[in-house]
Every structure is written in C-alpha cells, then in structure tokens.
C-alpha cells in the first residue's frame, strides 16, 4: 500500500509547547490506515498508510506538546509560566485600580456638582430672605437669612469655615471679587447696620439673634482683614 507524507512548520509558543498549522481542507483516510507523527528539526512529518483524499481548501490548528523534557527545560517552562501568571495578575490589578480611580473621580464630580447645586439654591434663599425682612413686622431666629448652606439652630452652629465657604463659593456671584463680596456682607451684618433688623426681632429671640449676628460679623471682619493683607503683598 502506498505511503503519503505531509511536512508542516512547527512554532514554539512556550518552552516545551509547540503548535503547527495544517492547511489540508477535508482529508479522507482509507479504511484501516494509520498515522505516524515524527518531530524533528523544527518540522512535523505526518505519514499515513494508504492514499488520503484531500477535498477543498481549509485550515486546521493542532497543538503539539512534547511529553518528554529535560530538567532544565522543565525549570525554564515553569519560570516562563510563572512570569506569565504574574504579568496577568499585574495587568488585572492595574485594570482594577484604573476602574476604582474612574469610580472615585466620577463620585467626586457628582458630589461637587451636587454641592454647587445646593449652594446655588441656598444663595437664592439667602438673597430672598433679606428681601423678606423688609416686610416682616416681627422676626424670629428662623426668619434671619444666615449666611450658611444649612440654617443654624443657634449661634454655636455658625462656624467661620461654613460662612466663608458659602459667601465665597464659585456657585454664585461670579465676577465679584472675594474682597467685594465680604464688604457687601459686612454692610448687612455689622452691628450698627444690623440694629434695624434686631429691633424687629421678637423679645424671646432677640438675644439669640444678636449673638448669632455678632458671630457672623466677627468672622466677616477677620476674612476682610485677611483679604486686605493679601492685597498688600
């Protein structure tokens, strides 16, 4: 019976691991035939008993793994596989970290946008509150438009940082310098100016309002002193 031999290139993917690409299309082997595969010199020889019939054009991919390897080859293969494992883990870790950075960035942007929106709303209420003071015959602590995003319950809730953050926020008064914003605010909260508002506060709330207004005025005076000092440098 005739013997047919095919020879194909072999490529090394990793130490001890090889592949070959066979472009034969559809191969029909005679009944009772056998196939011998011999590896050597970078090529694979496929020998068959009988004459196979090759139909059409196509491609098939076969993995060839050498079952025998020297101790040195085994160490090299293990070293290579360990390196690949570490590289995959490092890439996965970088992907996780990048995803987490994007999440934190998006969260920070959301919170910043939300904070600006809340401040814009509070600023509008603050300005409207001062307009309402002109028509209210009797005022309470809650009626006073305190310069804060969140209305205070007492003078103890009026902190310098919160007042500054509210009045100097980029969410409003764009185009007006910080120094000018503070000067306008102080014209409202200075004890001499605020006295007219205080005179219309209910007796039971008057001392609480007076204390709160004085706290605001002190903060504003300190802020304005700081801005003036900056302008001198």
- How many domains would you assign to the chain? 2
63, 121: one domain? no
Phi, psi of 102 (to 5 degrees): -65, -40
143, 49: one domain? no
26, 123: one domain? no
Residue 85 inside a domain? The answer is no
Q: How far apart are CA 51 and CA 89, in angstroms?
A: 49
125, 188: one domain? yes
55, 158: one domain? no
Count Cβ atoms below 10 Å from residue 71 Cβ, excluding itself. Answer: 7
122, 26: one domain? no
> What is the greatest pairwise CA distance in the chain?
122
pLDDT in tens, 186-211: 999 999 999 999 999 999 999 999 99
49, 122: one domain? no
pLDDT in tens, 28-58: 444 444 444 444 444 444 444 444 443 333 3
- State the pLDDT at residue 15: 55
131, 56: one domain? no
Residue 95 inside a domain? The answer is no
138, 55: one domain? no
DSSP codes of every residue in 37-95: EEEETTEEEEEEEB-PEEES---EEEEEE-S---HHHHHHHHHHHHHHHHHHHHHHHHH
Residue 177 inside a domain? The answer is yes
Residue 125 inside a domain? The answer is yes
Averaged over 105-125, what is the pLDDT? 88
Entry pTM: 0.57
Residue 11 inside a domain? The answer is yes
Domain, as residue range, for 166: 116-231
CA-nearest of 85, 74, 67 to 18 is: 67
226, 130: one domain? yes
How many CA within 13 A on the CB side of residue 63? 6
Residue 108 inside a domain? The answer is no
63, 156: one domain? no
Is the pLDDT score of 6 beyond 90?
no
Cα angle: 31, vertex 34, 38; to 5 degrees: 155
Q: How far apart are CA 73 and CA 95, in angstroms?
A: 33
Q: How far apart are CA 33 and CA 26, in angstroms?
A: 16
Higher-pLDDT residue of 95, 48? 95
**C-alpha separations of 218 from 106, 135, 212 in Å:** 38, 27, 10
């Amino acid at each position: 019976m005739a013997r047919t031999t095919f020879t194909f290139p072999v490529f090394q993917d990793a130490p001890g691991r090889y592949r070959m690409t066979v472009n034969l299309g559809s191969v029909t082997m005679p009944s009772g035939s056998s196939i011998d595969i011999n590896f050597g010199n970078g090529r694979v020889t496929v020998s068959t008993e009988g004459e196979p019939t090759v139909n059409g054009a196509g491609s098939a991919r076969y993995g060839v793994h050498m079952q025998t390897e020297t101790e040195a080859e085994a160490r090299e293969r293990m070293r290579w596989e360990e390196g690949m494992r570490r590289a995959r883990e490092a890439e996965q870790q970088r992907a996780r970290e990048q995803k987490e950075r994007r999440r934190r960035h998006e969260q920070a942007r959301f919170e910043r946008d939300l904070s600006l929106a809340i401040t814009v709303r509070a600023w509008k209420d603050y300005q409207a509150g001062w307009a309402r003071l002109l028509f209210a015959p009797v005022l309470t602590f809650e009626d006073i438009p305190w310069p804060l995003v969140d209305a205070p319950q007492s003078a103890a809730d009026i902190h310098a940082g919160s007042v500054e953050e509210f009045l100097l926020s980029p969410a409003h008064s764009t185009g007006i310098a910080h120094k000018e914003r503070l000067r306008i605010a102080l014209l409202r909260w200075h004890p001499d100016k605020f006295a007219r508002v205080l005179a219309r506060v209910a007796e039971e709330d008057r001392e609480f309002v007076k204390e709160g207004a004085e706290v605001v005025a002190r903060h504003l005076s300190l802020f304005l002193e700081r801005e003036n000092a900056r302008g001198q440098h």
